[in-house]
Chain A
Amino acid sequence: MTTVIAFQNLVKRYGKQLAVADLTANVESGKITGFLGPNGAGKSTSLRCLVGLAKPTSGEATIFGKRYQEIENPLSKVGTVLDSRGFHGSLTGAQNLRVMAAAAGIGNDRVDEVLSLVELSDAAGKRVKGYSLGMKQRLSLAGAILGDPEVLILDEPANGLDPAGIAWLRNFLRTLSGSGRTILVSSHQLAEMQNTVDNVLIINKGQLIADGNMKEIIGDGTLEEAFLRMTLGELQ
């Protein structure tokens, strides 16, 4: 197995608050890896360290052995969806993507292409402040695939999607993974994760508590049972 994403003794502290406590974990090439953990476990913080938006207090997080800042034209290698808002409300969806595309040396044709892939073509010319939560989420996904990257880092991409959107996202991730891409995806939708992901990383209070393939982790039960057992202690 080849490691694509590596967290190496990652520590991130906000004042006294230890958000990520010595996280060491690897993400395998060509697989969908679910990144799970209760609220406040440190998932978003770890991912933000991974893509260079937050500076680790110590340790490091790398993609293809490099820190994100060292990757040449990162959009063409790594696509990212974070939980924070990232688009200018008074620009249209297409304009927001064209700004990103220009910076990455990508043409406007590709912008139209990804907008149609996320089924947002009809709203492409509409200002983002008029988008619904799910439409914003689709726009984020469009931004992530803009550079046709080999690696996707997705923080709660299903957030705000309707049932059809979630089904669409499942197929979307499977198609991307089927073509050899590596996907690290955080989510609280465990039933959905159980059907979609190959490997699982579970963290709690900033520490890794489980790491393995789905079958190993869940045994005979469901992902939800395994998750609750590990994060809350034994179920009565």
Chain B
Amino acid sequence: MNLIKSEWRKLIYARAHWGLLIAATFISTLSVVVTPFIIDSQGELFGFGLDQTEAVDSTYANGISGYIFAIILGIMLMAGEFRHGTAVATFLTAPKRGSVLAAKLAIAAVGGVLIMWVSAGISFLAGYVTLMSFENVASPSENLFLNTMIASTIGGAVLGVIGVALGTLVRNQMLAITGALVYLFVIDPILLTVWPDTGKYLPTGLITAMLAIDVDAPELGFDTSNYLPPLEATGFLLLYGAVFAAVAVATSLRRDID
């Protein structure tokens, strides 16, 4: 419990973590706010407009766009210890490194959920206000908000945990963050085109599937029919996280601390 409290303090004291929350909120709000305009101006080409429930649902669904910041938060919580040299104080205070890792995983999950809740919540409000300026707007489907909240909660926790596992494995914070971004946005899409069948087991496919909120709008790229069911995808992601963490426990977590 003491370690959890200590990690919680690290989470809320560091300004960089608040920066991540702001960035996540900014990105998700931006994508929620611009979507109706895109649909309104381009949708006619596909016979798709804001008077359809799917269009409104996919607008709100962009509220989970801040998920990448949950991963970055997780990475920073662990790799930041080595970057700032606080690992020395941390492991002098709590030399059982596995316990520190466990506390960080828990706090990263909480932090990831908070990032997702705040960023999704604020972007929903912004989306609601934006949609009011259009005429003939359909109502979102009944379960949309509940589903999004569930996806944000599970997604934020799982991605935070994966971030910590990554940051433990790759102690260099810049390398871990750029590595994760390059992998997710460059390498994964390439792998996806080379081996389309395995795509649903790759992290981006799993993340999309996990966050899938029953929104299907192929016109807008919300085509989840090829992905795994959300629960299975969540399980696979946790498996990735567990493998990273296990490798980290066996390797980098044992290394000397400078």
B94: A residues at CB distance < 8 A: 103
Q: Is the CB of B254 within 8 A of A84?
A: no
- A91–B96 Cα gap in the complex (Å)? 24
Q: Is the CB of A88 within 8 A of B93?
A: no
Q: Is the CB of B14 within 8 A of A91?
A: yes
Q: At the interface, yes or no: A75 with Cβ under 8 Å from chain B?
A: yes
Segment of B1-9, B25-33, B127-135, B179-187 engaged in the interface with chain A = B1-9
Segment of A31-39, A45-53, A113-121, A197-205 engaged in the interface with chain B = A45-53
A87: B residues at CB distance < 8 A: 84-86, 89
Given contacts A87-B85, A88-B84, contact A53 B91 (CB under 8 A): yes
Instruction: Give chain B's interface secondary structure class.
Output: helix
Q: Is the CB of B92 within 8 A of A51?
A: yes
Given contacts A75-B92, A87-B86, contact A99 B10 (CB under 8 A): yes
A48: B residues at CB distance < 8 A: 256
- A99–B93 Cα gap in the complex (Å)? 10
- A88–B147 Cα gap in the complex (Å)? 39
B171: shortest Cβ distance to chain A, in Å? Answer: 14
B16: A residues at CB distance < 8 A: 90
Given contacts A54-B257, A89-B84, contact A100 B89 (CB under 8 A): yes
- A74–B89 Cα gap in the complex (Å)? 12
Q: Is the CB of B88 within 8 A of A84?
A: yes
Q: At the interface, yes or no: A21 with Cβ under 8 Å from chain B?
A: no
- A98–B86 Cα gap in the complex (Å)? 13
Closest chain B residue to A75 by CB distance? B93
Closest chain A residue to B96 by CB distance? A69
- A220–B199 Cα gap in the complex (Å)? 79
Q: Is the CB of A98 within 8 A of B9?
A: yes
Residue from A69, A74, A80, A90 in contact with B14 in the complex, judged by beta carbons closer than 8 Å: A90
- A95–B9 Cα gap in the complex (Å)? 8
Residue from A85, A91, A104 in contact with B13 in the complex, judged by beta carbons closer than 8 Å: A91
Q: Is the CB of A102 within 8 A of B6?
A: yes
B80: A residues at CB distance < 8 A: 88
B6: A residues at CB distance < 8 A: 99-100, 102-103
Q: Is the CB of B5 within 8 A of A74?
A: no
Given contacts A53-B92, A74-B92, A85-B85, contact A99 B13 (CB under 8 A): yes
Closest chain A residue to B100 by CB distance? A103
Q: At the interface, yes or no: B196 with Cβ under 8 Å from chain A?
A: no
Residue from B2, B3, B89 in contact with A86 in the complex, judged by beta carbons closer than 8 Å: B89
Closest chain A residue to B80 by CB distance? A88
- A86–B84 Cα gap in the complex (Å)? 7
Given contacts A53-B91, A102-B9, contact A84 B15 (CB under 8 A): no
Given contacts A86-B86, A90-B14, contact A103 B2 (CB under 8 A): yes
- 9 A-B contact pairs sorted by A residue (CB < 8 Å): A48-B256, A53-B92, A86-B92, A88-B13, A88-B80, A90-B16, A98-B9, A99-B6, A143-B89
Given A52-B92, A86-B92, 11 more pairs with CB closer than 8 A: A53-B91, A75-B93, A84-B258, A87-B84, A88-B13, A91-B14, A95-B13, A99-B10, A99-B13, A102-B5, A103-B94
5 closest A-B pairs by CB: A103-B6, A102-B6, A85-B85, A86-B88, A102-B5
Chain B residues packing against A (C-beta within 8 Å):
2-3, 5-6, 8-10, 13-16, 80, 84-86, 88-96, 254, 256-258
